[in-house]
Amino acid sequence: MDQTVETVRGSADMWLDCAYESLLEGGVDSVRVLALAKKLNLARTSFYWFFRDREELLDALIARWEEKNTGNWISRNDAYADSICEAMLNVFDCWFDDALFDTRFEAAIRNWAQQSPDITRLIQTDDARRIEVLTATFVRFGYEPAVADVRARTTYLTQVGYAATRPNEEFATRMKRIPEFVEVFTGVRPQDHEMQRFYARRQYVNET
């Protein structure tokens, strides 16, 4: 887009980014065209060059959430792994890297669902997809389907609980608990080299 035009009207991404920040800061009720225009220091009418109405903007927010959080969840399940422990650690990346899985965005969408049956149904659909993909990961490594289903649900719901409650837990403390989580979720103790690769991705040095 021409820089002069973008200065006057903004861009679809600018409006969407502003909507995203407003959703995280104040919930869906704060995502209003006039409020966004004031934040961007743009004319309210500029919004309509990029979005038909507020509902289309909200739809774009939902699409961004699905693409980033659910999309990356699926990608991490599909990532190469030699063992179920390595596969589990690939999935754990989602909970330590906001570039992969935006936990604040996740919380904001779930808060939105409290006042929207449509968003509630959407979240239920995405939760089911995520669990289905994780179940398939367990099955791929030889678990019986019924066992895989329960292990996937245990893993997923524990991590959703972490994201929702945001416990006051130091990063190093949580890192030290990761091998235990892997063993609880999979029934297999991760090997040292598997943990070291995970720690390296998270830029954590295990001094024990």
- Identify the pLDDT of residue 56: 98
Nearby residues of 192 by Cβ (< 8 Å), 6 or more positions away: none
- Identify the pLDDT of residue 167: 78
- State the burial class of residue 196 (Cβ atoms within 10 Å of its Cβ: 0-12, 13-18, 19+): middle
Average pLDDT by stretches of 10, the chain with 208 residues: 56 97 97 97 95 97 97 97 98 93 94 96 97 98 98 95 81 93 98 96 82
Q: What is the pTM of this model?
A: 0.90
CATH number of 1-51: 1.10.10
Sequence ranges of the domains in the chain? 1-51, 64-201
Q: Are 136 and 77 in contact (CB under 8 A)?
A: yes
Q: Which amino acid is present at 7?
A: T
Nearby residues of 134 by Cβ (< 8 Å), 6 or more positions away: 77, 91, 152, 155, 156
Nearby residues of 116 by Cβ (< 8 Å), 6 or more positions away: 28
Of 74, 99, 96, nearest in space to 162 by CA: 96
